[in-house]
Amino acid sequence: MFYKLSNTTNLQDIEAAFDARFKYPLLYRESSLINGLSEQSLPVITMDDKRTIDYAIWGILPQNYQDDWDKFQNFTNTLNVSLDTLHKLDWIGDIINTQRCIIIVSGFFTSFLYKGEIHPFYVHDKHKKPFALAGIYSRLEDGFLSVSIVVTDAPNELAEVHNLGKDFPFALNANNYEDWLIEDNDFLNNGIKKIKPLDLKAHAISKEFYKNNIIFDTILEPAHYDNLPVFAL
C-alpha cells in the first residue's frame, strides 16, 4: 500500500507546470511527508475541469457518501485502488470511465525488503519536477471530492526496490497527464497501455520515515546502508 506522499513544489511552479490554477490557493501547503493514514487533502485535476487544481480527501469514499471518512477507511482502506480489481467493487461503479483525475505530487515512497530488513525508498521525477499520479475520484453529499491513487501491475523500472508487491502507482508528467483524462479511453480494457508512464528515479532514505510522528528537514535526503546492494535507481 502507498500511504505516504511528498509535495515540496511551490504553488507557482505547480500552476506553471500543469497550466492550471488552484481553486483555493491559500489552502496549499508544501510538505515533505503527507501521511494518508490520517485524513489529508491532495491537489487534483479532474476530467470535468482540466484547467483548475481542486482538493480531494485522500481515500475514496462512495459517491454521495454522508458519513465520516475514518469510519469508511476503518472498514476498507481506499488510499490506493488496483486497476485490475476495480470492476469487482460494486460501490465504485463506472467511476474509472467517468471520474478520473490526476494527483499532483513531487514524490512518493516504496519499501525494499532485503535480508530481513525493510528499507524505505523515495521515488521522484529525475529532474525533481512535480508530476501526476493517475487517480479516480468521487463527489460526496456535501460537494467535497475524495480520491484514490490507481495502482497497476504493469512492469516498471523500479521493481528492483519495490519487492513487497506488484502494484505500483501510474505516474505521468505535466506534458501528457491529460492522456489519463481523455473521456473515450476505456481503462478497464487495457486503455492504460496507450499512455507512456513517466520515467522515475528512487533512492534509499532514513528508516525514521517509518516513525509516523517524525518529520524532519532531511527526510527526503539519500541514506547509506552498509548491507544494501542498491541505494539508487
Among 180, 181, 154, residue whose Cα is nearest residue 167: 154
Domain boundaries, given as residue ranges, for the chain: 4-210
pLDDT tens by residue, 24-77: 999 999 999 999 999 999 999 999 999 999 999 999 999 989 889 999 999 999
Helices (H), 95-146: 95-98
Cα–Cα distance, 95 to 78 (Å, whole number): 14
pLDDT tens by residue, 62-87: 998 988 999 999 999 999 999 888 88
**Residue 54 Cα distances to 71, 78, 140, 147, angstroms:** 24, 19, 14, 11
What pTM does this model have?
0.94
pLDDT tens by residue, 188-212: 666 677 788 899 999 999 998 888 6
Cα–Cα distance, 74 to 42 (Å, whole number): 20
Please enumerate in sequence order all residues whose Cβ is within 8 A of that of 26, keeping only pairs 6 or more positions apart, or say none: none
CATH class of 4-210: alpha beta
Residue 226 pLDDT exceeds 80: yes
Residue type, 145: L
Where do we find the cell 500543469?
A: 18
Cα–Cα distance, 164 to 90 (Å, whole number): 27
